A and B are shown apart, each in its own frame.
Chain A
Amino acid sequence: MAQAAIELIGINKSFGAVRANRDINLEIARGTIHGIVGENGAGKSTLMSILYGFYQADSGEIRVGGKPASIKTPNDAIGLGIGMVHQHFMLVDNFSVLENVILGAESDALLKKSIAKARSELERLEREYGLEVDPDAIIEELPVGLQQRVEILKALYRGAEILILDEPTGVLTPAEADHLFRILKQLKEQGKTVVLITHKLREIMAITDKVSVMRQGTMVATRVTKETTVGELAELMVGRRVLLRVEKGEAEAGAVKLAVKNLTVKDQRGVTMVDDISFDLRAGEIVGIAGVAGNGQSELLEAISGIRRAVSGSVMLDGKPIDLTGAADPGELRDRGLAHVPEDRHHVGLVLAFEENENSILGYHDDERYLRGPFLDIDAIRNDAKDKITKYDIRPADCRLKTANFSGGNQQKIVLAREMEQDPGVLIVGQPTRGVDVGAIEFIHKRLIAMRDQGKAVLVVSVELDEIRSLSDRILVMFAGRIVGERGPEATEGELGLLMAGVEQREAAE
């Protein structure tokens, strides 16, 4: 048995009344890749933040390399050889790669010497671990996969022996994720210890040696990866059996509900994000749009739902045109039976400072059901909210609670309940389960399929390939603003991954 790189003994941490970590014990062996899985809010990130000195544990002991360690600031952690790659990159966007790497670890008070030293050191690290990045590139001009590489380089430059990665693949294409895994395996071969925090069980199975499962602030189990299954891990995470793939029958596609023709949309910088896209959405089917984030899916959704003006093209809803290049507004589209669950529930879907019942009618607040004369009918609104809470199992079941106090999954259910309960003919959903727990994912998927079976037309945009594959009756792949291919749900992940990376398109052009 290899020596432990890190031991956590009896770690407790509370935020006010919330016990984020309860008596956590964890041992991570040197030179291994150790996965930590758990639902959102299970306490994974808190535990790692304690290890990285971002927070202090209320009680408990941390041992690094067998010796008790006092980690009060990130500086202490860095000194002990712990490096962290955060979920949201901690990079200065308008600095160069080199400047980001040396920030906080400058060897000299003058930059010239520090940068010269870092440049040669980076070259060595690049050769050793296959981490190629142009040291003079500006961060905001790099794709996310490379930005993440800079984060890893930052940790290695500081002499990290133990590397913690928090949800590293959330923003990556399948190909980029594979590359990351190759890098991690290489790091492991060089004797580094890797801690991988994720909620994607497939990744855990693919790359880790051991996996620990957290649930509601406690460490419920640690397993050797080879001896466990995805099903067992999912059950441990949620505390009950979960269906990882929702059962569904054949789609019975009916009439065309939404016809998009030659739609072109530009973003605020004037860059064409949606380039001449055409597709039909029929009653009784779910069409999934796959693609790496930033390939125009967001702009497509915004245009169809009337939030963003299109440059040209036409969209017919139930055979009647929507004036997307001009005055179409989301309210009018709602009246015509097009409901929209936006990608970004925090900024577009909900007002977090509002009570739950207020959010549950947002956008439909002019509906007669919620009005008494010119005033809101508070009783009707609250009763309506209570119905939705019951029907969608929103927890906690308190319609007066501030929306910010619900978990991500329950917030998403609030938005879904609001849009689905209006009985729309067409439902457009962006990232239906982003930041949502395994248990809630199952629920949301079932609901979407139920909508389909009722004969509604459903358009789903998601960066999660698994989700697209398990929900969709037809899959459209977007790359660089165009639809580069249509596949059935039986398409393999590799096939879709290549389309998402734009590979096939380029080959076809040759």
Chain B
Amino acid sequence: MDLFNAIIQVLDSTIRLSVPLLLACLAGLYSERAGVFDIGLEGKMLVGAFAGAAAASVFHSALIGLGMAILISVAFAMIHGFASITHRGNQIVSGVAINFIAAGSTIMLGQAWFSQGGRTPALAPGERFEAINWPGAEALRAVPILGPIYAELISGHSILVYLAFLIVPFTWWVLFRTRFGLRLRAVGENPAAVDTAGISVAWLRYRALICTGVLTGIAGAYLSMVQNGGFVKDMTAGKGYIALAALIFAKWKPVNAMFACLLFGFLDALSIRLQGTPLPVIGKVPVQFMQALPYVLTVILLAGFIGKAIPPRAGGVPYVKER
């Protein structure tokens, strides 16, 4: 029974840990499917996390916090768009710049506004998104096997967790069942075809980046308002990059993205769980090794286990009308 509980706990934290990855990964999916590489997911999440926590603590409202997180994150996405779509700058350079601006400005503004070493004040209960307990969760907890699964895995998460997993089928539907999705995929493959069909390439790519900004904003809000009770400097800790890896691993498909993020979340959960626990045969493993495990596996997976991942063909290339 101990083992069963341990598994449930690891799976529960898998879900919690994969949510920000999943949101960032889907965010990247929108922009990369539209042909704009976005290495700035990390930075947008970070500003989202900061704006969310700051606004929530100032206005004492979780919803205002979420709104502000999305707003600021979208604003940063538009900066990326302005540099790389309107002015046809290098998308990687623009993304990296956004990451640096995000890392620096959040600490600086945090210190200037709240004077807590770059942190935002700890959020009070009404200022963060609380876990939602599903009906009967406590009552059913005693039921063997199914009880804990229902109570721990399905019930007891914040609204943002459910939202993240609902966005997966929604994204699939948008991409493959709507006019917007068709055009979005087309502009990532052959923008000239979109242009000659009489659709504005720039406006389409901007709209894709708005989707990206909204999702990274939610991801940031999740980090600072659900997972943590406030903003801590550099709290994204490379999740934006892992999300990009997951996106490649998922071959730019929404449902694959969910499984890829769950896998990365699971590795993360496992490494936390196994810290300090002696493993059979091997014995005690240094903490640092366990922490590195998800990243090591990322490299191994990307190097050899995904087969051929074909990115959107026009990805990374600014669109210029040819003579």
Q: Which residues of A contact B (CB under 8 A)?
A: 15, 45-46, 52, 54, 73-75, 77-78, 84, 86, 88, 90-95, 99-100, 102-106, 108-112, 114, 154
Candidates A46, A84, A91, A112; contact of B193 at CB < 8 Å:
A91
Contact A86 B182 (CB under 8 A): no
Contact (Cβ within 8 A) B189 A103 = no
Q: Return the contact of A103 from the options B176, B178, B182, B321 (Cβ within 8 A).
A: B182
Stretch of B57-65, B115-123, B195-203, B226-234 at the chain-chain interface: B195-203
Residue of A with least CB distance to B187:
A92
Asked whether A92 and B323 contact (CB < 8 A) given A75-B198, A104-B194, the answer is no
The dominant DSSP class at the B interface is: helix
Is B323 touching A103 in the complex (CB atoms < 8 A)?
Answer: no
Chain B interface category by residue count = 20 to 34
A-B contacts counted at CB < 8 A amount to 74
Known contacts A74-B196, A75-B198; is A92 also within 8 Å of B321 by CB? no
Residue B180 at the chain A interface, CB threshold 8 Å: yes
CB distance from B49 to the nearest CB of A (A): 34
- Asked whether B182 lies within 8 Å of A108 as measured between CB atoms, the reply is no
* Residue pair B179, A92 in contact (C-beta under 8 Å): no
Q: Is there an interface contact between A109 and B180, defined as CB atoms closer than 8 Å?
A: yes
| CB of B177 closer than 8 Å to a CB of A | yes
In the bound complex, do residue A110 and residue B197 qualify as a contact, i.e. CB atoms below 8 Å apart?
no
* B157 contacts across to A, CB distance below 8 A: none
Q: Are A74 and B197 in contact (CB under 8 A)?
A: yes
The residue on A at minimum CB distance from B180 is A109
The chain B residue sitting closest to A20, CB to CB, is B323
Tell me the B271-323 residues at the A interface (CB within 8 Å): 313, 321, 323
B198 touches A91 (CB 8 A): no
Cβ contact within 8 Å between A104 and B178: no
Chain B residues in contact with chain A, CB under 8 A? 176-183, 185-186, 189-190, 192-199, 313, 321, 323
With a cutoff of 8 Å between Cβ atoms, the chain B residues found around residue A99 in the complex are 182, 186
**Which residues of the partner chain A approach B189 to less than 8 Å between Cβ atoms?**
92-95
Whole-angstrom distance between the alpha carbons of A99 and B185 in the complex? 11
| Contact, CB under 8 Å: A46 / B178 | no
Give 7 closest A-B pairs by Cβ, nearest first.
Answer: A104-B197, A75-B198, A90-B193, A106-B179, A90-B196, A74-B198, A92-B189
- Contact yes or no, B177 A112, CB < 8 A: yes
Interface residue from B178, B179, B313 paired with A93 (Cβ < 8 Å):
B313
How many whole Å from B245's CB to the nearest CB in chain A?
23
A106 touches B323 (CB 8 A): no
Chain A residues with CB under 8 Å of B182's CB are 95, 99, 102-103, 106, 111
With contacts A104-B183, A110-B179, A114-B179 known, is A90 near B190, CB below 8 A?
yes
The distance from the CB of B229 to the nearest CB of chain A, in whole angstroms, is: 41
Cβ-closest chain A residue relative to B189 = A92
Can you list 20 A-B contacts (CB < 8 A)? A54-B196, A73-B198, A74-B195, A74-B198, A77-B198, A84-B196, A90-B196, A90-B197, A92-B193, A95-B182, A95-B189, A102-B182, A103-B199, A104-B183, A105-B197, A109-B178, A110-B177, A111-B181, A111-B182, A114-B179
